[in-house]
Chains A and B, each alone.
Chain A
Amino acid sequence: MHEFTVAQLAEGLHEGRFTSEELTRALLERVQALDSRINSFITVDEDGALAAARAADARRAAGSAHTLTGIPIAHKDIFCTDGLRTSCGSRMLDNFVPPYDATVVNKLHAAGAVTLGKTNMDEFAMGSSNETSYYGPARNPWNIEHVPGGSSGGSAAAVAARLVPAATGTDTGGSIRQPAALCGITGLKPTYGRVSRLGMIAFASSLDQGGPMARTAEDCALLLGAMAGHDPLDSTSAKVPVPDYSAALAAGLEGLRIGLPVEYFGEGLDGATGTAVRAALAELEQLGATLVDVSLPHTHLAIATYYIIAPAEASTNLSRYDGVRYGYRCDNPEDLMDLYTRTREEGFGDEVKRRILVGTYALSAGYYDAYYRKAQQVRRLVQQDFTDAFERVDVIAGPTTPGPAFALGAKSDDPVAMYLEDIYTLAVNLAGLPGLSVPAGRVDGLPVGLQLVGRHFDEARLLNVGHRFQQATDWHTQAPALAGGGG
C-alpha cells in the first residue's frame, strides 16, 4: 500500500479494498522498519494514529467521508498538535506539549486525515539541510550520506521513502520547495496568507507559509484544498475564496506562456542540473506552452534582503522563549537575567542564536534605517520584478536549487554558503508568491527539482502545469532503493 499516492489510497478506501486501520498499521510498521536510517520523524504517535484510523473507518461506514478521510499523513514538528509534543526541532521546546491544534492540523483532522507523527526539521525552521535539528539530521533516502534539504527535511524524506503519502511543511525562504527538490517529491508553497499561520510556530511572520508535500501535484491539490482558507484567528490570513484545485488540474497547456528568468540560469547553477531543468522545460513546450525569456534584475539582492528581514522578524518572534511560561528552563538561575540569558544560551542552537543576534543588530538603534528599512525597500523592488514579468507571462519557471543534495557536513561550517542554497526560492517568499517544485530529473542518482512560480493566489495554475508535466513524465513515480524502488 505504501506505493500508492493519496488519490490512489482515497480510491482504495472508498472502494473498501482496505481500511484506514490496515493502511495505518502498514505504514507504522514501515516507519519502525526504515526510519532509523533516515531519522525523518521526531515523534511517532502510534496510539493516536490507530484511534484516528478507527474513527475514520467508522465515519466512512456512516457515509460522511471526505476524500482525505483515513489517509495517514505526517505534520512538520512546527505545527502545534493538542496533547502531542511539538518541538520545532529545538531543545527549547523538547518538552513542549501544546494545549491547542494549529488551524492546519484542525482542518486536516476535520477532513479525517490520520496524523502518524511529527517530522524532523531544522531548528525553528532555520536551515537548508536539516542539520540544525536538536534531534540530529534527517537523511536523504536517495543517499543517506546526503542531506534531505531543509527546513522541512523530515517531511520530504518521509514522503520520498514512502513512509507516508503526504506531509505538511512550512516555507519561509524555500523550506518546502528545496527539500522537495532534493528528495524527488512535489512541494507547494502557497501564496502568503493562503494558509493560516495560527499554531504554526513563528520564524519570520511576513514570510512564513504552510503548504503540502506529496508525491504528485494531484495530491498537493487535494491537500491544499483542505488546508487553505481564511482564518479569523490569523490576522494575516487572506479573505480570498478557495477554488477547486483538483478540478483545475486537467486543463491543457496550449497557449500558456512560461517565463525563464535569465538570472536563474547563469553563474552558480550546476551544469547537469541546468541541463535537466532545460529538458523539463522542453517537455512543457511539447505540451503546448511557449517559453519566453524574462528578467528579474534584483535577484542578486534577494539573499541579502532576506537575511536582514528574516532574522529581524525571528529576533522578535523568538524573544518569547524566556524560560518562564513554557519550554526549556536552565537549572538553578541566580537571578532573573541569568534565567533569561542562560535559558536562551542552552535552549537554542548555534544557527538560531546567530540569526537572533543578526536580527537584533539590524533592528537596534542607529542601524534600523541602514538595514531593516533598506531591506524592506529592496523587498519591494524584488516584488516589482515579478509583477513586471507577470505582465508578459503566466508562470515563471527555473531550477528549484543550484544543484542536487550535498553531502552531510559539506556546508554546515559556512552559513553564507548554506544561504546560497536558497537563491532561487527566497525571492518568491519576499514577493509573497506561490511556488511549486516538481521532480524533473536526476544528477548522480540524486533528484533535481523544477520550480514553477505563479501570480498571487494562482496555485491552481501551478498545480495544473505540474500535473500535466507529471502525466507526461515519470520522475515523480521513481522511488529510492531504500524505499524499494529502482533508484
Chain B
Amino acid sequence: MTIEQDEIEKIAALARIRIDAGQIGEVTRRIDAILAMVEQLQAADTSGVEPMANPLDATQALRPDEVTEGNQRDAFQAIAPAVEDGLYLVPRVID
C-alpha cells in the first residue's frame, strides 16, 4: 500500500470532504491504485528540467488598476442558499 487509511482521513479533512466510515476502506483502496499508477513518474530522469506550469510558458497578464466592474451583489446573492440583509448566512461561528 502506498497510502494508509489514516492518511486518507487526514487528506479528506484538509479537502473538507466527509467520508462515511463504511466507505473509507473502499476509498483508500481506489486511491491507492491511482497512486500506484502515478508512482512510475519517480523513475523518470528530470534532473535539470524546469517545471512547466503553463504550456505556452505564459506569465501572468497585468492590467491597469482601475475599477471595471460595478456592484452586482443583488444578482450574486439571488442564487445563494441563504442570505439576509445583504449578508451570506452560515451556522454560528462564535458563541
Contact with A along B56-69 (1 / 0, CB 8 A): 10101101000000
**Is B78 in contact with A377, judged by CB distance below 8 angstroms?**
no
Is the Cβ of A304 less than 8 Å from the Cβ of B17? no
Interface string of A329-359 (1 = CB under 8 A from B): 1000111111111101100100001101110
Nearest A residue (CB) for B26: A350
Judge whether B54 and A326 touch: CB under 8 Å: no
Residue from the set B3, B80, B82, B88 with the largest chain A CB neighbour count within 10 Å: B80
Partner of B38 from A298, A308, A373 at Cβ < 8 Å: A308
Residues of chain A whose beta carbon lies under 8 Å from any beta carbon of chain B:
95-97, 99, 192-193, 206, 232, 235-236, 238, 298, 300-301, 303-305, 307-308, 315, 319, 322-329, 333-342, 344-345, 348, 353-354, 356-358, 360-361, 364, 370-371, 373-381, 383, 415-416, 419, 430-433, 456
- Tell me which residues across on chain B come within 8 A of A334, comparing CB atoms: 91
Residues of B contacting A380 in the complex (Cβ-Cβ under 8 angstroms): 49-52
Q: What separation, in Å, do the CA atoms of A341 and B12 have in the docked complex? A: 9
B71 in contact (CB, < 8 A): no
| CB atoms of B37 and A307 under 8 A apart | yes
Residues of B bordering A, CB below 8 Å: 3, 7-8, 11-20, 27, 30-31, 33-35, 37-42, 44, 46, 49-56, 58, 60-61, 63, 72, 75-76, 78-82, 88, 90-93
Of the residues B17, B41, B80, B92, contact of A308 by C-beta under 8 Å: B41
A and B contact pairs by CB, cutoff 8 A, 25 listed: A99-B79, A192-B56, A193-B58, A235-B61, A298-B44, A301-B44, A304-B39, A305-B41, A324-B88, A326-B79, A333-B91, A336-B90, A345-B18, A353-B17, A354-B34, A356-B15, A357-B11, A360-B15, A361-B7, A375-B38, A379-B51, A379-B52, A380-B50, A381-B46, A416-B34
Contact residue among B58, B79, B93 (Cβ-Cβ distance under 8 Å from A236): B58
Q: Which chain B residue has the least Cβ–Cβ distance from A239?
A: B61
Kindly list the 9 A-B residue pairs having the minimum CB-CB distance in the complex, ordered from nearest. Answer: A432-B55, A376-B51, A377-B46, A329-B81, A341-B18, A345-B18, A380-B52, A340-B16, A377-B49
Are the C-beta atoms of B56 and A456 separated by less than 8 Å? yes
Interface of A is mostly: helix
CB of A75, distance to nearest CB on chain B (Å): 19
